[in-house]
Amino acid sequence: MTKPLMILIAGPYRSGTGDDPGLMAANLARLEEAAWPIFRAGHVPMIGEWVALPVLRGAGATGVTDPLAQQVMYPAAHRLLQHCDAVLRLPGASSGADQDVAIARERGIPVYTDLAEIPGMESLTERTGV
């Protein structure tokens, strides 16, 4: 590996939550669980909500149900994909994550569905036994 990859972690955030803040927080925590192994393998993990949620707050939006969210949530991930080298698609129904995968494939960006597929992960497993 010559340079770290920026890897967008895509999966359910709002899907299936009924917009319950606790369930959305749990979904974000599941996305974030993948961040450490990606970082440990020498890459830069990225999650669209890490960008979109602060932007929404800065714009004065009241949350993901605010009409402004439509102008921020998906567009933030789409803009990130212009800088990402790969996508990790985690399991679970998510139209946003499906859009991320479609955009990645359209742009020729690798899409991984398992952490073990990410370059450098195999050497990490060999070194640590994890």
Backbone Cα Rg of the chain: 15
pLDDT tens digits, 14-43: 999 999 999 999 999 999 999 999 999 999
- pTM score over 0.85: yes
Beta-strand ranges (E) seen in the chain are: 6-10, 44-46, 86-89, 111-112
What architecture is domain 6-128?
A: 3-Layer(aba) Sandwich (3.40)
What's the mean pLDDT in 41-52? 97
